[in-house]
């Protein structure tokens, strides 16, 4: 990515616009900062490391999931995997914030048809291909699903567990043009109120889903994530004082402890079941604890990854190789995880302290190689956006 130096004008008390979305778009489409239509583009330096660290966190969390959701996992191993899993639960909320930081800038004035055509080209093929692939994988290879269950999961917007993210992003894309009009005419106080209301309602809905065992269909699965989307826009350029950094760290660590410890207690009382269920109520994407964890993590990540880090060799490697491949890694990694699982390689093998990092590497590395290679093949590259 290439940085641009910009001068930020006063905004008449409106929220400042932002940038940041997955992969190549962050370079070519960095949103303008000035209110004028032809302002210089700005590059948010935290975008690449958030994408890369977020994908690593997702892989580690999904590796641990196989032990956390297994009733046969031994007590000590279960608790270790549970705490590591809890520590990765910032990733999806921060991903959504990242997209909001880029796409919600009201100054991005491309016509609606251009916007929707571009997004459909980016995600439409990926959704179709990976939904079909993982439905086949679940019904014909692992045997973990029946055709009837696969159809039901598709209608719920989760043809395979991780693909919920793509359905949510597509729904948020659909309303992005409308959100921009609102943000262009709203002052900062109204934007803050909108964030509080949408996150609050999302958290209440999360709690009710966990208690009642209900969930939204593919068509509305995105709706509870609107709060995260707006939060990324609102906090895209928030700078922290030393005291605030300490506070965010304390909040993040407290959230991990509450997520892991609280989930352990809930599972003991209600039993171990998948989402949505009372036992996993805290792990849901919009539980109050995960909302707090996501916001604290966003503030810390945007604070630490300033412009200076990209001048390093690691920064250049991340921007050139790993950041563009993150969506592809996200899309394919459950295949490698589940193949390893079927062969007996899990987070607890040979023991939990070696198993978690070892299996995570065995999932992440081939996923990254796959994504990087496919991205260089014409036409086929569209499946990894």
Instruction: Give pLDDT tens digits for 1-55.
Output: 333 333 333 333 333 333 334 433 433 333 333 323 344 445 688 999 999 999 9
- Residue in 53, 42, 40 with CA at minimum distance from that of residue 20: 42
| Range 121-129 contact pairs with CB under 8 angstroms and sequence separation of 24 or more | 121/382, 122/25, 122/385, 123/166, 123/169, 123/170, 123/173, 123/385, 125/382, 125/383, 125/385, 126/166, 126/327, 126/331, 126/382, 126/383, 126/384, 126/385, 127/163, 127/166, 127/167, 127/170, 129/383
pLDDT for 232 equals 96
**What is the chain's mean pLDDT, rounded?**
87
pLDDT for 357 equals 97
Distance CA 97, CA 234 (A): 9
More confident position, 5 or 249: 249
pLDDT for 42 equals 54
pLDDT for 107 equals 75
Distance CA 355, CA 64 (A): 9
pLDDT for 24 equals 36
Question: 145-160: string of b/e by CB count within 10 Å (b at 16+)?
Answer: beeeebeebbebbbbb
Asked if residues 233 and 105 have their Cβ atoms less than 8 Å apart, the reply is: yes
pLDDT for 25 equals 40
Find residue 184's DSSP bridge partners: none
pLDDT for 191 equals 96
pLDDT for 37 equals 38
Range 336-348 average pLDDT = 94
Cβ neighbours of 275 (radius 10 Å): 18
Cis peptide bond N-terminal to 377, omega within 30: no
Q: Assign 198 a pLDDT band (cuts: 50, 70, 90).
A: very high
The reply to whether the predicted model has a pTM over 0.85 is yes
Number of helices (H), then strands (E), belonging to the chain: the values are 14, 0
More confident position, 229 or 34: 229
Residue 318 has pLDDT above 50, yes or no: yes
pLDDT for 308 equals 79
pLDDT for 45 equals 86
pLDDT for 356 equals 97
Q: Assign 120 a pLDDT band (cuts: 50, 70, 90).
A: confident
Distance CA 346, CA 356 (A): 8
Range 233-261 average pLDDT = 96
CA distances from 152 to 111, 131, 217, 353 (A): 35, 13, 9, 37
Asked if residues 227 and 202 have their Cβ atoms less than 8 Å apart, the reply is: yes
Distance CA 203, CA 207 (A): 6
- Indicate the range of 37-41, 188-192, 324-328 predicted with least confidence: 37-41
Range 82-90 average pLDDT = 97
Distance CA 176, CA 193 (A): 18
Range 196-203 average pLDDT = 97
- Residue in 372, 365, 304 with CA at minimum distance from that of residue 340: 365
Residue 297 has pLDDT above 50, yes or no: yes
Residue 361 has pLDDT above 70, yes or no: yes
Percent of the chain with pLDDT over 90: 72
Q: Is 41 helix (H, G, I), strand (E, B) or coil?
A: strand
Asked if residues 53 and 301 have their Cβ atoms less than 8 Å apart, the reply is: yes
pLDDT for 33 equals 30
pLDDT for 231 equals 97
Asked if residues 173 and 119 have their Cβ atoms less than 8 Å apart, the reply is: yes
Percent of the chain with pLDDT over 70: 89
pLDDT for 110 equals 79
């Amino acid at each position: 990515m290439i940085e641009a130096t910009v001068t930020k004008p006063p905004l008449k008390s409106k929220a400042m616009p932002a940038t940041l979305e997955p992969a190549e778009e962050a370079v070519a489409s960095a949103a303008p900062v000035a209110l004028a239509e032809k302002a210089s583009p700005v590059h948010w330096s935290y975008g690449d490391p958030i994408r890369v660290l977020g994908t690593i966190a997702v892989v580690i969390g999904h590796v641990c999931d196989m032990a956390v959701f297994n009733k046969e996992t031994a007590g000590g191993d279960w608790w270790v995997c549970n705490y590591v899993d809890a520590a990765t639960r910032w990733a999806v909320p921060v991903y959504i914030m990242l997209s909001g930081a880029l796409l919600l800038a009201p100054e991005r004035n491309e016509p609606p048809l251009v916007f929707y055509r571009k997004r459909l080209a980016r995600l439409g093929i990926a959704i179709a291909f990976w939904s079909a692939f993982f439905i086949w994988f679940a019904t014909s290879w692992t045997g973990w699903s029946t055709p009837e269950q696969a159809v039901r999961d598709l209608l719920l917007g989760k043809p395979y567990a991780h693909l919920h993210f793509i359905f949510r992003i597509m729904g948020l894309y659909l309303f992005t043009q409308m959100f921009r009009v609102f943000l262009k005419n709203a002052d900062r106080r109204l934007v803050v109120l909108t964030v509080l209301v949408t996150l609050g309602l999302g958290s209440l809905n999360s709690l009710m889903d966990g208690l009642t065992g209900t969930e939204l269909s593919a068509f509305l699965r995105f709706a509870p994530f609107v709060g995260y989307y707006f939060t990324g826009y609102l906090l895209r350029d928030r700078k922290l004082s030393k005291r605030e950094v300490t506070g965010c760290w304390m909040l993040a660590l407290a959230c991990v402890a509450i997520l892991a410890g609280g989930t352990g207690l809930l599972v003991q009382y209600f039993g171990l079941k998948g989402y949505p269920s009372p036992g996993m109520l805290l792990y849901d994407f919009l539980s109050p604890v995960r909302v707090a964890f996501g916001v604290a993590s966003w503030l810390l990540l945007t604070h630490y990854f300033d412009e200076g880090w990209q001048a390093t060799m690691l920064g250049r490697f991340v921007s050139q190789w790993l950041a563009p491949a993150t969506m592809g890694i996200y899309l394919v990694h459950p295949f490698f995880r589940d193949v390893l699982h079927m062969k007996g390689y899990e987070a607890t093998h040979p023991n939990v302290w070696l198993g978690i990092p070892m299996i995570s590497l065995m999932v992440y590395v081939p996923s990254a190689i796959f994504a990087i290679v496919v991205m260089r093949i014409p036409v086929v590259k569209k499946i990894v956006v």
